[in-house]
Every structure is written in C-alpha cells, then in structure tokens.
C-alpha cells in the first residue's frame, strides 16, 4: 500500500471529523459572538479538504500530490489550528506522492 494513499485517507477522514467538531462548536458559538457565516465557511472548507485528501491519495503521483497539498492548505486555512493534524498528514502525503515512481503492472 502506498504511503501517500494511507496518509491521504487518514488525513481526509480526520479532516471530516474536524469539520464535524467545528460544526458542533459552531452551534455553541452564539455565546462567543461568532457569526454563522464564519462557521459555515470553516465546516465547508474542512469537508472539501477531506474530499481532496481521499481523492488525492487514491490518484497518487504528481496529480494526487498536488491535490493532497491543496487539501492540506484548505484544512489549515478553514479550521485554523483545529486542522493542523490533517494539514500535516495531507502535506506529507502530497510530498510522498511527488516522490513516488509509477510502477508498470505486469500481466
């Protein structure tokens, strides 16, 4: 199993979980005075980052590496420090995907 796939999958799943956590915290955010638009954007970016992580890990290679890195950046931007772990996993997975060599399948 490719390392970029595993890191993309784990980073994507954690990004989804972070998005759900931000959504739950957003429901409690009225006490903090945060706007609903901020919470909606944060959750949306976390979910998009999760999708990018899973898709990028499945692609592999340079195309998948670029998708993983974009997903990592979206995770960090969308959820600030809550998304640090998925961000690191996705960016490391993207770097690994850039280093992978395509293996020809023998039939």
Q: How high is the pLDDT of residue 57?
A: 85
- Does residue 107 have a pLDDT over 70? no
User: pLDDT at position 30, please?
Assistant: 64
State how far the Cα of 15 lies from the Cα of 86, in Å rounded to an integer: 6
Q: What average pLDDT does this structure show over 88-92?
A: 90
Cβ neighbour number for residue 102 with a 10 Å cutoff:
8
Q: Is the pLDDT of residue 104 over 60?
A: no
Give the 3-state secondary structure of residue 106: coil
Q: Can you tell me the distance from the alpha carbon of 77 to that of 41, in angstroms, rounded to the nearest whole number?
A: 10
Separation CA 35–CA 100 (nearest Å) = 43
**The pLDDT of residue 70:** 92
Q: What is the predicted pLDDT for the residue at 6?
A: 86
- What is the phi/psi pair of residue 100, to 5°? -70, 145
Query: Tens digits of per-residue pLDDT, 15-53?
Result: 888 888 877 877 777 666 767 777 778 888 888 988 898
Please say whether the beta carbons of 22 and 82 come within 8 A: yes
Q: Is the pTM of this model over 0.85?
A: no
């Amino acid at each position: 199993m490719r390392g970029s796939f595993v890191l993309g999958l784990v980073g994507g799943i954690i990004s989804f979980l972070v998005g759900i956590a931000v959504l739950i915290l957003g429901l409690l955010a009225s006490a903090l005075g945060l706007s609903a638009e901020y919470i909606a954007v944060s959750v949306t970016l976390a979910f998009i980052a999760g999708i990018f992580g899973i898709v990028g890990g499945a692609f592999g290679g340079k195309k998948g590496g670029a998708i993983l890195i974009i997903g990592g950046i979206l995770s960090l931007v969308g959820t600030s420090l809550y998304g640090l772990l998925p961000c690191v996993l996705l960016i490391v997975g993207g770097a690994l995907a850039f280093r992978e060599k395509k293996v020809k399948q023998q039939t």
